[in-house]
Amino acid sequence: MSAPRKMLETLGIHLLLVAAVCLTIFPLAWMAMASVMPAGEASAYPMSWLPSTLSLEHYRALFSRLEVVRYIMNSALIAGAVTLISLVVNSMAGYAFAKLSFPGRERVFRGLVATLVVPGQVTMLPLFMLLKYLGLINSYWGVIVPGMASVFGIFLFRQYALSIPDSLLDAARIDGAGEWRIYRSIVLPLCKPILLTLAVFTFMGTWNDFMWPLVVLTDSRLHTLPVALANLSGEHVQDTELMMAGALLTVLPVIVLYALLQRYYIEGIMVGSIKG
């Protein structure tokens, strides 16, 4: 390829990518801008792209009048609990499916993987009745309990645990280590990267989840941030700037988490997709 043509091609590629990034970022950038505009400025004609003055009144209103701290705590508590519990449960099962042979192992595992095609909505109605019967509707546990184990998590952990050499585990057994000890002091430390991947996935997925918390949490004091935001957007349709501030507070934690741990997040998607 001749040098000028190569330059032209490089320029073209980067122009396209920059244009795509601008279109992608624009809604989020506009959300951030509008959230610090004085009330009414985002819904004025002609529209202004930048805030005339930096106004934090909407954030103040959210924190003082609209109890956003409560919703942040609810979301953090639920997402944190689901992440911690499912990490333990899924890693134990994933390790056993990879490394501990027991009768029926392959059949059970294949049965579990087959359930991945069932959409969540199918089980939602009877699950609601079951939790109602157990007295868990309208409580944090109602949201946490169905997320405590996941086939996807077990699958991901198993794929990773398969690469642990058997000789390592056998050596520990000969030294007299029990199975639980092996799992705790050999398997878990070796699988740290996939544990981080799973943690990011689960936390973000639970934080962003909408339909199930919407169904289970009827008391508004227990609402998660997305459910509260959806309610708020019904009551405050006209308060554009306030809604943008609320939306920003909702997405900020996941964006920060993604920025910090994106290597593990992207890794998870790649591992999940390569199984084909």
Partner 1 sequence: MSRQRLQTMAPERGRAGYGFVAPALFIILVFFFLPLTGALLLGFTDFDIYALGDLAYLRFIGIDNYTRLARDPLFWKALRNTLVFVVSAGPLTVLPALGLALLLHARLTRFKGFFRTALFLPVVTTLVAVAVVWRYLYHPQYGPMAAALSVFGVEPIDWLGDPHWALPAIILMAVWKNFGYSMVVFLAGLHAIPGQLYEAARIDGANAWQQFRHVTLPLLAPTTLFVAVLTLVGYLQLFAEPYVMTQGGPSQSTLSVVLLMYEEGFRWWNMGYAAAVAFLLFGIIVAGGVVLRRMQRRWLP
- Within 187-226, which residues bind partner 1 (CB under 8 A)? 204, 207-208, 210-211, 215, 225-226
In whole angstroms, the minimum distance from the beta carbon of 54 to partner 1 comes to: 20
Closer CB to partner 1, 156 or 229, in the complex: 229
Does 269 interact with partner 1 (rule: CB under 8 A)? yes
How many residues bind to partner 1 according to rule CB under 8 A?
Answer: 100
Is residue 41 within 8 Å of residue 52, measured between CB atoms? yes
Site for partner 1 in 20-39 (CB under 8 A): 20-21, 23-28, 30-31, 34
Task: State yes or no: residue 79 binds partner 1 (CB under 8 A).
Answer: no
Q: Does 142 bind partner 1 (CB under 8 A)?
A: no
Among 128, 159, 164, 190, interactor with partner 1 by CB under 8 A: 128
Q: Which residue number, 56 or 171, has a Cβ lying nearer to partner 1?
A: 171
Site string for partner 1, 236-265 (x = CB under 8 A): ----x--xx-xxx-xx--xx-xxx--x--x
Q: Which is nearer to partner 1, 69 or 116 (CB)?
A: 116
50 binds partner 1 per the rule CB under 8 A? no
Angle at Cα 152 formed by Cα 118 and Cα 261, nearest 5°?
A: 135
- Asked if 41 contacts 48 with a C-beta cutoff of 8 angstroms, the reply is yes
Nearer of residues 84 and 149 to partner 1, judged by Cβ: 149
Q: Which of 54, 122, 189, 235 binds partner 1 (CB under 8 A)?
A: 122
Is residue 114 a contact point for partner 1 (CB under 8 A)? no
Report the C-alpha dihedral over residues 41, 44, 50, 51, rounded to 10 degrees: -10
Q: Where in 154-173 is the site for partner 1 (CB under 8 A)? A: 154, 170, 173
Q: Candidates 3, 65, 102, 107: give the one binding partner 1 (CB under 8 A).
A: 102
**Interacting residue with partner 1 among 2, 52, 53, 121 (CB under 8 A):** 121
